[in-house]
Structures are given as C-alpha cells and as structure tokens.
Amino acid sequence: MSQLHRLATEIGFHSSYVNCFGHNVTPQEDALASLVSAMGYDTSSEEALASQANTLAQSQWRCVVSSCEIIAAEQTQYNIDINLPVWVDRFSYRLVCEDGTHHSQDDVLADILPCVDTACLDGQDFKRYQWELPRIAEGYHQLTVTAGDQTALCHVIVAPPTCVNPAEITPKTWGIAVQVYSLKSATNWGMGDFSDLREFVVRAASRGAGSIGLNPLHPLFPGNPSHRSPYSPTSRSFLNTMYIDVTAVPGYANSDPCQAIVNDGEFQMLLARVRDADFIDHGTVGYLKYKVLRTLFADFQASDIANASDSAQRFATFCETQGDDLASLACYDALYEYFRERDDNAYGWTFWPEQYRDPHSAEVAAFKAAEADRIQYFAWLQWLAHEQLSAVQATALEHGMPIGLYLDLAVGCDGNGAEVWADQANYLAGAAVGAPPDAMNILGQDWGLTPLNPVALREAGFGPLVKALRSSMQYAGALRIDHILGFMRQYWVAPGKKADEGVYISFPLADILRVIALESHRNNCIVVGEDLGTVPEGFGDIMSAHGLLSYKVLFFERWENGLFMRPEAYPEQAMATGSTHDLHTVAGWWTGRDLAWRRELSLYPSQDMAEADANGRVPDREYLRAALIDMDLMGEQDAPANHHDHAEHILAVAAQQYLALTPCAMHMIPAEDILQLVEQVNIPGTTEEHPNWKRKLPCDIDGFFNDQQGNELMAAVAALRPRQ
C-alpha cells in the first residue's frame, strides 16, 4: 500500500467500491490525492504522507478523551474511555449539562478504574481506562477533562436508540406530495406560496389525506431568485422567502405605498404575465415580491418597531431565539445583494473581495454597522416565512391530519452559500457531493454541493446537522432525509473530475443515527431515509434498527426476474410511493416520456443503452399489468394496452391502490400522479436543458380537487387507508 493510500485509509476514504452493475471500482490516484489535499493534508512527499498517517493512527491514544462521545440512553451505565500515558495516574473533570447543571471532581485516580487496553507508541506506554460518567439526561452536554498538561473538550450526547415510531402517531396513512411552487391560484404572484399551501392542506385533509409531502423549503438566494433548485440551498436552516405570500403580510392592504406599487400598470402587466405562464419566471416573481416586501419592511420599521407592537415583539423574540445563525444568514444575504449590485456575476462569497470572505473580518463588521437596516430586512423576511409556514402546519393538525407537513432535508449546501461562508471550518471546499453511475443515471452525478468534513463534524458535536434537523422538524410531523446513504459514506468528486470518477469516504453513521433519533423524539417527528441508489449490503437493516422508514418506489421493488413484488412483500417500516421528484411519473413511465427525454438530452452514453431501455420497457409494462391484474385491481379488459377510453386512468388508480395495500406506514402520491401527468419535475444531470423546478400544475387548487379522475384516485386510496 502506498503512503497516499495509507493516509487516505486512516482518514476514511475507501480503497474501492462495488457499483450497482456489480463491478469493482478503484479511485484514480490523482483524484484521491486531490481530496486528501483538500482535507488539509500535505501530499507533497512520501515522508509527509507517512508522518501524517502515523499521527492519525496514534491520535486515538494521544488524546485524553475523544472529541465526541455518543452515549446510548438505554444503557444502565454511561461509560467513556480515558487515555493516559502510564506516568499520569489521575485526572480532573467538569461536566456541564444542557440544562445548566454540572458535575465535577478533581484528582480522579486512574488506577482504581478498569484498564481495558494498552499501547506502546514510539517507545511510550499508554493505558486506556473505562470511566463511568454520572447519570445525565438525554441531550447535549460538555465534558472537560484535564490530565497532566493536557486539557481536552468532549461533546457528550445521550441519545435514544430509535426515532419516533409512526404507529405511536397514526395507523397506516397516505398523503400527497406536491411542489409548493407548482401550485396555481388566482391570488399568488406567479408561483405557489404558503397561503396556497395552506389552502391545499385544507382541501387534502377533506379527502382523508394524513400528510402533505414537500421538497426542501430551505433558503435559496434572495439576491438571485433564478437560482431555483431546492436541493442546492444557501443553508439547510431557515426558509425560502420566495414562498412568502406578500398579500398576507400584516399591513399590506392598508399600506398606501405598497398599493401604489401594486396598482401601477407595469406591475400589473408583469403580475398577469407570470401568473398566467405555464412555467415559473423566478427572476420576475422575485422582482415583484421583494419590491413590495421592501416597502412593507419600511412600514414595519416606522410603525411596528417604533411603537413596539406585538408583531415587533414577536420579531424580536424570533431574532433572539435564532441568534447568531439568523444574524449570519441575514448578513450574508445583505452582502450578496450588495456585491451583485456592483457585479451581476458575483454569485456568492467566493466571488467577493478577499476581506469579505472571512465572516469575522473587520470589513464585515464595518458592513454590519453601515448596513444594519439592510441586514434587518433579511432577518424580517425569515420571520415572515416562519410565521406563515407555522400557520400551515397548525392548520394541517387542526383539520385532522395526524402528520401534517412531511418536509425534506437536502443532502448539502451550495458551496457559495451562507452556511459554508459562515462555517468554513466544517466544510470542504475542494470536493463536491454526488453519486456514482446507476441504472437511472448512467453517467453518475455531481450535485455541486460542498460536503461537510466528517472529522470536523464530529469535533463540532454534530452541531451543523442538529441545526438542520431542528430547522425542518419544527414545522413537520415527518422528515425525509435526502440521500441518507451519505451518513454512512459519501461519494466525493474532486475538482475537474467527471461524476463517475468519485471516491467514497466514511461518515460516523451509528453516531449520526443516534443524533437523528434524539431530534426525532424532541420534535415528535417521524423520519424517512431516502435510501435509493447504490445501497451497501445491510444498510436497510441498520436503518430499521434505528427506527427510520425506508423509501420504497413502485418501479424499483421487483424480483430479479423483473416481476413486481406483491404488496405484502413490502416492509411495514417504510414509505411507499409511485415516483419521486427525480423520476418519471406513473403516466410518463407507461408512455415512455422519460425515455424520450433521456434520448433528447443525450443522457445515454451509447445508442445501444438507449435501445436496451426502450426494449426493456415493453416487458416491464406487462409485468406491471400482470401485478395489478393479479391483485384484482384491474381486469384484462381494462389494461391500457387495449387503448380504450379511461384505460390509463384505471391503471393510475390501480397502481396507487397497489401501494395502499402494502403494510408500509406511509404512502405518498405525487400530485402529478393524481392528475396523471406525463412530465416529471426534474431530470438529474440537466439544468436549463429541461424545465427543472419550473413547471406549474395544469390547474389551480380548485381544479385539482374538483378533477373527477383525481378524486376517484384519492377516494380509492382513502378507502384502503382510512384516517383515524
């Protein structure tokens, strides 16, 4: 083994992986060296590599205590390891609990503790002792240990073994997955907003739905509304302020300056254009919304803040509760806007002058003082979004939905965004998260997201992850974690490398799942892990043991011979669906619309693979027909192959009934499948070539819930999964 590979192995990089086609893939030497270098290691010589590998190998002994200890709450004793050179025979500690209480003791004698291991490093002998912590509550605590001339800080996290059990909240349930932006109404400003979502929730609840599934609502870039992918956020905390319903902001109707702007002829012309369009013009929608919101903020400052109104006090409480994280995001948004006013191509902090790339610089501090109003405006936008989304979840629960909103946590953040700018120590700028080639994405995927450094994440006590989980869970009864596989191993693509030339690196999965379980219970939130793609053997069992629901897509749940698994073969601990935001709709699959798009966009590496997919779809359709007929969900005479009226509708209903019959705890139906649309939301591997994240539903909310075929489909599912 070369010294580079030895160091890479110590860091956690994988020497190879088996792809979904069964082939063993080894990383390219230069890609591996680039990623090792990006993590801060010197790759200039064999000597440097060897020295660093030795240091890493010995670090678990040379540190008195690890940087983070995850304690299983169900254990009768809370033990951690203490590492001491043989000439040090005692240590002192101070344990500060989350609730402010503390425990401490000086001169704890090591020799009275059980010695569980020994080591000799460069002629020096070390002993590992097992030390019992005082009994402490579930939560996040800080331990400081001093031994000899060394003081070490350890994050102690006491966490339960499993997430919230869906059965404790509701029996088997069903819901509708919808893109908020795709909702149409006579009142929104060119894209769906939180008021539209609230109305959609009420109408869905009346049909018996138990949840509404949404793509990530994370903040994007107010200074660049055209940046539209919900999976490329500026931060995984807080909200996308483009979803604010401007007309629902207090004071809107009575603001003369606002009404003058809105009633202007050019404004009304733009508003009518974006409202009537089939695709969202994010730039114009952002222009309209933020123009009026700025005026409303000026009114808020002049009246509410000046007079310390109830609204102003709620805003102040929100800012105080969110603390430095909100202040940092608002400062970033203000800086982003400031520099884009001077350069349209300044897409984030890496484009700014050097002195502004450090959030703690004197120049940033001066900007905060000079632009306090501008910064407060962006904090105010977050407060408005928080109030409106909180009202949506409250409405869902009031109308009998046992889960309400089912939100989505993106796998990472845009490297030019606020979170990476504010927390550069925990992120790795020289890599991008992606996925290796698989059956659906043959060229592999480079998502362009800056990964968290797994070593730094642990040293931070998983703080960045905890913030992201809490931010979404506060509004939700269930949370989907995108690409949950990334918490076991992440696929990193080095700069300049193709998506199929990535390298896997390990993450502390067991610890992360404990943290997720802790936040799940604190927020009474079900957790779904999106475990599609190249899945390591045994991963599903690990998820199940920790109480996460698996992600089951109809078209992937098949036997090796191609036959569809019967409903009873699905696991109870799962969420079943006919499609996802990255896949074809049911109707799109049946008609082959997805294959046509892939050919048109040159997503096949060869013509042979395109023909193989097209030829394979023919028996696949027959397998689906056979499965639905076998379950008596449709008859031979109803099969769409016969092309009679209503045939495809019968298949659409039958496919959802098939999933409703599974024992899965949750069943989500994409809105596109309820309307039996053929176009999909997003095609991975494309940007402007396909209208990703831009397509509106073909009807407004009234039309959606008055659609006869859609109502027949929802009623059929509700009959099999009645809400209790």
CA distance to 177, 565, 665, per residue, from 659 (Å): 15, 11, 11
Q: Which fold has domain 75-159?
A: Immunoglobulin-like (2.60.40)
What angle (nearest 5°) sits at the alpha carbon of residue 363, between those of residues 360 and 364? Answer: 50
pLDDT per residue as tens digits for the range 266-317: 999 999 999 999 999 999 999 999 999 999 999 999 999 999 999 999 999 9
Contact 100, 494 (CB under 8 A): no
User: What integer pLDDT is reported at residue 644 of this predicted model?
Assistant: 46
Higher pLDDT, 416 or 448: 416
Task: Dig out the tokens for 3 from the structure.
Answer: 């010294």
Strand partners, 119: 126
pLDDT band at residue 442, thresholds of 50, 70 and 90?
A: confident
User: What integer pLDDT is reported at residue 268 of this predicted model?
Assistant: 98
- Mean confidence (pLDDT) of the chain: 94
Rounded average pLDDT over 544-562: 95
Contact 173, 180 (CB under 8 A): no
Instruction: Please tell me the distance from the alpha carbon of residue 515 to that of residue 343, in angstroms, as a whole number.
Output: 42
Q: How many CA atoms lie within 13 A of 347 on its CB side?
A: 9
Q: Parallel, antiparallel, or unpaired for β 102-109 and 24-25? A: unpaired
Higher pLDDT, 430 or 346: 346
Where exactly are the structural domains of the chain?
3-60, 75-159
User: From the CB of residue 682, how many other CB atoms can be counted at a distance below 10 Å?
Assistant: 21
User: What integer pLDDT is reported at residue 641 of this predicted model?
Assistant: 58
pLDDT per residue as tens digits for the range 673-695: 999 999 999 998 888 899 999 99
pLDDT per residue as tens digits for the range 52-84: 999 999 999 999 999 999 999 999 999 999 999
Task: Dig out the tokens for 679 from the structure.
Answer: 């176009």
Phi, psi angle pair for 716, to nearest 5°: -65, -40
Nearest to 32 by CA among 54, 19, 57, 49: 49
Rounded average pLDDT over 579-602: 94
Contact 66, 154 (CB under 8 A): yes
Query: What's CA 529's distance to the chain center, in Å?
Result: 10
Residue with tokens 């102003």: 312
Percent of the chain with pLDDT strictly greater than 90: 89
User: What integer pLDDT is reported at residue 331 of this predicted model?
Assistant: 98
User: What integer pLDDT is reported at residue 639 of this predicted model?
Assistant: 64
User: From the CB of residue 428, how many other CB atoms can be counted at a distance below 10 Å?
Assistant: 23
Nearest to 397 by CA among 179, 212, 674, 178: 212
Instruction: Please tell me the distance from the alpha carbon of residue 169 to that of residue 523, in angstroms, as a whole number.
Output: 12
Amino acid at 618: V
Instruction: Please tell me the distance from the alpha carbon of residue 515 to that of residue 510, in angstroms, as a whole number.
Output: 9
Q: Long-range contacts made by residues 305-311, C-beta under 8 angstroms, separation at least 24?
A: 311/250
Percent of the chain with pLDDT strictly greater than 70: 99
Instruction: Please tell me the distance from the alpha carbon of residue 352 to that of residue 338, in angstroms, as a whole number.
Output: 10
Judged on CB neighbours under 10 Å (0-12, 13-18, 19+), 44 is: exposed
Relative orientation angle of helices 708-720 and 647-660, to the nearest 10 degrees:
20
Instruction: Please tell me the distance from the alpha carbon of residue 565 to that of residue 552, in angstroms, as a whole number.
Output: 11
Nearest-Å Rg of the Cα atoms of the chain is 27
pTM of the model: 0.95
User: What integer pLDDT is reported at residue 640 of this predicted model?
Assistant: 64
